[in-house]
Amino acid sequence: MMNARIESFLEMLAAEKGVASNTLKAYRTDLQELTNFLEHQNPPLSLETALQVDIQRYFETLSNSGSSARTAARRLSCFKQFYIFLVREAIRDDDPTHLLQSPNIPKNLPKYLTEAEVNTLLEASMLLDQPRRALVAQAALEILYSAGLRISELLSLRRESISSKTQILRVYGKGGKERLIPLSEDAVKAALRLKIEDKGLKSPYLFPGRDSLHHLTRQGFDKILYDVCLKADIDPERLSPHVLRHSFASHMLAHGADLRSLQMMLGHSDISTTQIYTHVQTEHLQQIVKNYHPLARKTAKI
């Protein structure tokens, strides 16, 4: 009975809010874990009968097991949405999570490369020993840095998404949400060179895998990125597709892009997610003042 309620909730999220399949899987797991916890109480409880104190007890148990604050915050978000759904459907009269506060999550500033390091990386992408591998590396890195894509968005690009007639890229992000992102001229040229090279593969994807009917895997791309890092003399531990996305955002902001435009290009549903890059810029400005402002320097005693 209750599993049916969970499934109805997940169906609502998919239909009305376009929630991604991975998020739905995580929510199903979270709600099932809460169900199991409640059923093992004395007396046994259910999602329908649980009170605020019962949900609090669950999170105390979760904390004692060593789970992170980020995990607890995600699960509380899931539970809040679920109980709002139950109230809306007149299954419950109250929301036992209403007064529960999400734990504080320390904000980790995103790691990014300098503009000089990105230029070195792009130049190194052309130096890989295998010509086609070099074309894949150059096109992928140019697009990643030019558009700030997630790696899943990059690898799933269709061949027809790149054309000599336009420098606008149509991307389908989380939840299938569409956004349009301008591409640099170099990114378009690199992608077109790869399309010409791969024409005989007849793949629907811009970055075909070993089986041309499927796109390049994340693991396959990581190997290419590793090779480019070695050519560029950049520590591979410092670089990932997401670091390039952070580099795109940080450099755009440094050159005058506004947060709202950056939010649209990154595909963030909430601008508060985009605002983390202002912390990066603040840290950078503080370092500039420390290094160059005359009053920030230690003066020698006469």
> What is the per-residue pLDDT across 9-18, written as a single tens digit (0 to 9) for each?
999 998 888 8
Digit-coded pLDDT (tens) for 18-48:
887 888 999 999 999 999 999 999 999 999 9
The secondary element (H helix, E strand) that includes residue 270 is none
Maximum C-alpha span of the chain: 83
User: How far apart are the C-alpha atoms of 249 and 271, rounded to whole Å?
Assistant: 13
Average pLDDT estimate for 294-301 = 58
Digit-coded pLDDT (tens) for 199-216:
999 999 999 999 999 999
Residue 278's pLDDT band (cuts 50, 70, 90) = confident
Q: CB of 104 within 8 A of CB of 72? A: no
Tokens of 287: 């370092």
pTM over 0.85: no
Task: Tell which CATH classification among 1.10.150.130, 1.10.540.10, 2.130.10.10, 3.40.50.850 matches the domain 2-88.
Answer: 1.10.150.130
The secondary element (H helix, E strand) that includes residue 174 is none
Average pLDDT estimate for 57-65 = 92
Name the residues annotated as catalytic: 150, 174, 242, 245, 268, 277
DSSP string, 77-89: HHHHHHHHHHHHT
Q: Say if residue 141's pLDDT is above 90.
A: yes
Residue 103's pLDDT band (cuts 50, 70, 90) = confident
Our separate counts of H helices and E strands in the chain read 13, 2
Look at phi and psi of residue 267 and say left if phi exceeds 0, alpha if psi is from -120 to 50, else beta: left
Domain ranges of the chain: 2-88, 115-288
* pLDDT at site 297: 58
The secondary element (H helix, E strand) that includes residue 180 is strand 178-182
CATH architecture of the domain covering 115-288 = Orthogonal Bundle (1.10)
* pLDDT at site 191: 96
* pLDDT at site 1: 45
Residue 109's pLDDT band (cuts 50, 70, 90) = low
Average of per-residue pLDDT values in the chain: 88
The residues with which 180 forms a beta bridge, in sequence order, are: 170
Q: Which residue has the tokens 């440094």?
A: 254
* pLDDT at site 97: 95
The residues with which 129 forms a beta bridge, in sequence order, are: none
How many other C-beta atoms lie within 10 A of the C-beta of residue 246? 21
Q: Say if residue 268's pLDDT is above 50.
A: yes
Average pLDDT estimate for 154-158 = 94
Q: Say if residue 281's pLDDT is above 70.
A: no
Helix axes 21-39, 52-64, angle to 10 degrees: 100
Average pLDDT estimate for 53-62 = 94
Handedness of CA 27, 32, 38, 40 (dihedral sign): negative
Average pLDDT estimate for 144-153 = 93
Average pLDDT estimate for 114-127 = 94
Average pLDDT estimate for 94-117 = 84
Q: Which of 113-122, 141-150, 281-290 has the lowest mean pLDDT?
A: 281-290
Residue 299's pLDDT band (cuts 50, 70, 90) = very low
Average pLDDT estimate for 239-245 = 92
